[in-house]
Each structure stands twice: as structure tokens, then as C-alpha cells.
Amino acid sequence: MRSPFICKYLFNRYVIRSFIRYGGVGPSESLAGRTGRLHVRGVGERGAMTQASGGKELARIRWKHRAVAFAVVAFICVLGVALTGYISSLLTENAQKRLQNETLARLSEARARLEGTIGATLYISQGLVSFTAINSDLTQRQFRRFAEEISSLNNHVKLIALAPDNVVRYVYPLLGNLRALGLDYSKNEAQWPVVKRVMDERRTVVAGPVNLVQGGRALIARSPVLIPVDEDEGSAERRYWGIASVVIDMDALFEDAGIRQEMNGYQFAIRGANGLGSAGGMVLGDPGLFDGGAVVLPVNLPNGTWQMASRPVGGWTTNSPEVRIARLVGFGVTFAIAFLSAMVVIAQQRARSMALHDALTGLPNRRLLEDRLEQLAALSERTGLGFQVFFVDLNAFKPINDTFGHAVGDMVLREVGKRLRQETRESDTIARIGGDEFVVVVPGMTHHQSTANIAERLRQAVSEPVRTGDHVIAIRASVGWAVYPDDATTIPEILELADQRMYREKLAAA
């Protein structure tokens, strides 16, 4: 209920203060003052009313159009890039899973070959154990013939030895291995732990890899030789006779199994020395492979396990054609949609602007004028603040077109619009509603004397001669005005009244 009184108080205080500041005029004097412009500040109109007129308004509208178009393009680009990235990540993930499955298949094949080769080689050790258990009193000649026979069946065997009561008594081949004869395992700190383990567990233990004196690396398969306690009675109880050892050339074993550090684009590594699995040392390859997300499978040994790892040489990063195509298509479609959307938004904004503005002068047209008048009328009902409407019409404009051409006539109309903008505030509205008809709306002013002074000021500004090339074109303007709500209480009535007064002045001038 107090809103009208507050607005009137602000109006009286700040408008009168502006009069005193810009020339010392009173409320009944011209608002133009000695400065030649309407220096009155705004009095609380809504933001929609405070708009730049003419070129400033069109420039702001164009920037607004560009901002809207940029926002649409940015939104579509962000959405498209995010969607493309998501699809690419799914394809990449699928490609990685496929690559992991392929790696697992290659690793499974390599493990099967390795376990098969190791198993075939360890059969020799079992054969040696069986032969010794049957012939516990075998001679050196018997041992040598048997060792020759089984060595010829497998080229991985580097050395065969028997150690009754844990002392090496039989060695094949003797060449280069004579120092091994007489070795007492119980007195050898390096080998006794493994021998003791074989005795306790009574099963084959594969130790190694160990470095050979003659070069290369080897695995040592040690098996317990157990013989019946009482052969005559066929007792199942057996006693420990000694150790049967088979030294296996590990490099030849891996080569025969087709195991190398890098094969067909994949890296391989094995760890688990002495059958200790993940706790054992490296057997083959780069230890870093186990820390790089490689596929890992166990390799079963008689006494434990190894771990075998594999991954592609270039890691798990994939750059499959389908991912590249998806990104190319995704980005292409995104930018195409963004471009088309920007064009559509700009076209819509431009069409909307053209529907509300005069194409020649850039001023608001009749449609936008009526919309602003409706808003001012609604504001007046709430605050009691009125507004003034001025109709400006050029006298004898048709002869200018006929004499100088329409291009000069258009230039004159643009100049008139420019002059009207110069004589008004940014909160005022200047519109072109016809060929040579302009309307000026000044919110907040309702004094009739000041209205007449403003009308005169507009008339003088418009009636200044226009220079074009070597010609000086004299123009005259007629101005009619009306005050809302003093002269009329509806928009059609106030427009009609201002128009009638303008025509009366135009007829008087003629």
C-alpha cells in the first residue's frame, strides 16, 4: 500500500535534484535544459524499460544472440564430447578385455607346453628312482648303461647322480663332474636344506634355477629312493636309501617348450624359484611384469608352483580402429550438430529481433513500442508514475525521395533516428512506426509544460538541415504529444491523441 508514496517521494527528490544539477530549472521548465539533452535519471522503472536505444540496443541484441548461440554450441559440444568420451571408454574397455582374454589364451597355451615339457623330463627322474629301487646294489657299469639310455631320450638332461646315504657315488657323465663324486650332502650347507626337505616329504623337489659352472642355468630334480624293508615278505613299508638327482638344462627346456621373454608381441616372465610361487625368486624375464597388471597363472610342479605372467609388449593401452572411428564420428557429429544448432539459434534470434526492430534505423518498431507502453501503463497503475508520448513526423519527406532518391531518403531517416537518440535518455524509447513517423516515449514525466518544452526540443533537433555530399537538405518535423494518464488511460487512446495533435500541427505548418 505504501509503494506509490515511496516512488513519488523518490521521483520528487531525485528528479528535482537532477533539474537543479543540470541547469537549475524547476519542475515546470524544459527537461532539455541548457545542455541540449534530457538529463533526468531513471526513477525506478523495471529492467525491461531501461534499454539502450537504436544502435546501442541492436549491438547489445547482437551480442546477446552471439552469447545464446555460444551457450548452445558449448552445451552441445560438452554433451557430445562427454558422450563420445563415454562411448570411447566403453569401446576401449571392451578392447582391453578382449586383449586380456587373448593374452590369457596365449599364456594358457605357454603354460600347458611348459608343464608338459617339465613333466616329460621329470619322468626320467622317476624312471631312475624305480630302477635304483629294484637294483639297490647296482654297479657302476649298470648305472652308466641306464644313464646313457635315458639321457639319449631327452636332450634336457645335463647330469644324473645317485647318492646312497646322501653321499654321491654314481655320476653320469663323469667328464667334467669327477669333483661331485664323494660329495656328502649332509655336510654341504648349500644343498642340505633341499635334501633334508626331500627326505622329510618323501617326494620329488625341483630346485633352482642354479647357475652351472660350464655356463647356463639348470633345474635340479631331487627324488627320494625308497626300497622295501623286507623283500621276502612283500612288506609295503619302505626305507630311505638315498637321493636320485637329475640336472635339467633350463634354457634348453624353455626353448623346447617355446618359452621366451618375448613371443608374438607378448612379454612373459616366471617367478617362484624352488617352487615357492609368489615368494620365490625370478626364473625368467622381467620382475616388473608382475607389478604391471599382467595376467598371471600358476605352473604346477611336483613340489610347488611357479607363477607365469604375460601382457602385450606395449601394455594394455589399445588404439583399436573401432575406437578411432567412434571418436572421429562422435566429434564430427557433435561439431556438425553444434554448428547447425548455432545457425538455427542465430536465425531465430535474428528473426525475433527483426520482428521487434526497424531494419533501416535499428529502432524498436510498433510491436515493441506497444509492448513497452503496456509495461509502462502497468507500472503506472502500481506506482502512480506516468509517461509522455511524442509523435514525430517529417514534413514534405516525399519530395526528398523524389529529388534525391530513396538512398538519400533512407540516410535522412537514419539521421533523424540518430538525432532523436541523442536528445533522449537510455531509459526512453524511440521507435519508428511508419515511413517517416517516429514515436518517443519518456517515462516518469507528466508535467504539461515540460512536455511542451521537450516537444519543441525534439522539433528543433530533427529540423536541423542534413548534409549529403554537395547537397544540404532542409527538413521540418511536426510533433504531437500526450501524457499518460492525464490525457488518456489506455494505450490506443494516448497514441491516437498524440497522433491527432501531430497532424494538427502538420496542417498548421502547411
- The grid coordinates listed for 447 are 508535467
CB count in 10 Å sphere of residue 1: 4
**Nearest CA to 247 among 286, 283, 206, 276?**
206
The whole-angstrom distance between residue 395's C-alpha and the CA centroid of its chain comes to 63
In this predicted structure, what is the pLDDT of residue 235? 57
Report the SS3 class of residue 151. Answer: helix
Q: How many Å apart are CA 58 and CA 55, to the nearest integer?
A: 5
pLDDT tens digits for the chain (510 residues)?
A: 334 433 443 444 333 333 323 333 333 333 333 233 333 333 333 233 323 334 455 566 667 767 777 788 888 888 888 888 888 788 777 888 888 899 999 999 999 999 998 888 888 888 889 999 888 889 999 999 999 988 888 888 889 999 999 999 999 998 888 888 999 999 998 889 889 989 998 888 888 888 876 677 899 999 999 988 776 555 567 889 999 999 998 888 898 888 999 988 899 999 998 888 999 899 999 998 988 788 999 999 887 899 999 999 888 776 677 777 877 888 788 888 878 877 777 777 677 767 788 888 889 999 999 999 999 999 888 888 889 999 999 998 889 888 889 899 999 999 999 999 998 888 899 999 988 999 999 997 667 677 888 889 999 999 999 888 788 888 899 999 999 988 998 999 999 999 999 999 988 876
Burial of 178 (0-12, 13-18, 19+ CB in 10 A): exposed
Q: How many Å apart are CA 475 and CA 403, to the nearest integer?
A: 13
- The grid coordinates listed for 266 are 607378448
- Spatial neighbors of 307 by CB under 8 A, at least 6 apart, are 270, 271, 272, 277, 278, 290, 296, 297, 298, 299
**Nearest CA to 25 among 39, 41, 10, 11?**
39
Q: How many Å apart are CA 386 and CA 379, to the nearest integer?
A: 8
**Nearest CA to 29 among 461, 453, 390, 483?**
453
Angstrom distances, CA of residue 252 to CA of 3, 257, 260: 102, 8, 11
Q: How many Å apart are CA 365 and CA 160, to the nearest integer?
A: 109
pTM: 0.52
Interstrand relation of 262-263 and 471-473 (parallel, antiparallel or unpaired): unpaired
Q: How many Å apart are CA 447 and CA 30, to the nearest integer?
A: 10
Q: How many Å apart are CA 371 and CA 374, to the nearest integer?
A: 5
Burial of 377 (0-12, 13-18, 19+ CB in 10 A): middle
Residue 246's beta-bridge partner residues?
Answer: 160, 221
